[in-house]
Amino acid sequence: MSEKKIISTTSAPAAIGPYSQAVQVGNLVFLSGQIPLDPQSMEVVTGCIETQAIRVLDNMKAVATAAGAQLQDIVKLTIFLTDLEDFTVVNETMKGYFSEPYPARSTVEVSALPRGVNIEIEAILALPTSG
């Protein structure tokens, strides 16, 4: 088995449980789910789903950067929403962060998320190869 490398940055919220912000195995990085927490205050960002999605994606960007990658290197996203009515707004918000070719993605509605937030996104990214 490949050795695990823990990815951590103060530019994204600290883990609020027994997990890492991200774990690298080989050229893959598995990003833990990000919720709309402000990295400095560790408080939930309130407001509309667009505001919350922006915070989540900014947090993901910080973790990807700490791994030596960028959001465009994400190959798979899983989005958890407490209300699928927010799906269209999240799609539109993502267009500001991703361009074609888009990552593979799943979106599911869940009954609740940590800290009572409305959105959580986790990801898998493939580190860029040199050469």
Which residue ranges in the chain fall short of pLDDT 50? none
β-strand 104-109 against 74-81: which pairing, if any? parallel
pLDDT score of 98: 97
Distance CA 100, CA 90 (A): 17
pTM of the predicted protein model: 0.94
Distance CA 78, CA 107 (A): 6
CATH architecture type of domain 4-126? 2-Layer Sandwich (3.30)
Dump pLDDT digits (tens) for 7-32: 999 999 999 889 999 999 999 999 99
Domain ranges of the chain: 4-126
pLDDT score of 1: 60
Residue of 27, 122, 40, 15 whose CA lies nearest to 67: 27
Asked if 78 contacts 106 with a C-beta cutoff of 8 angstroms, the reply is yes
pLDDT score of 80: 98
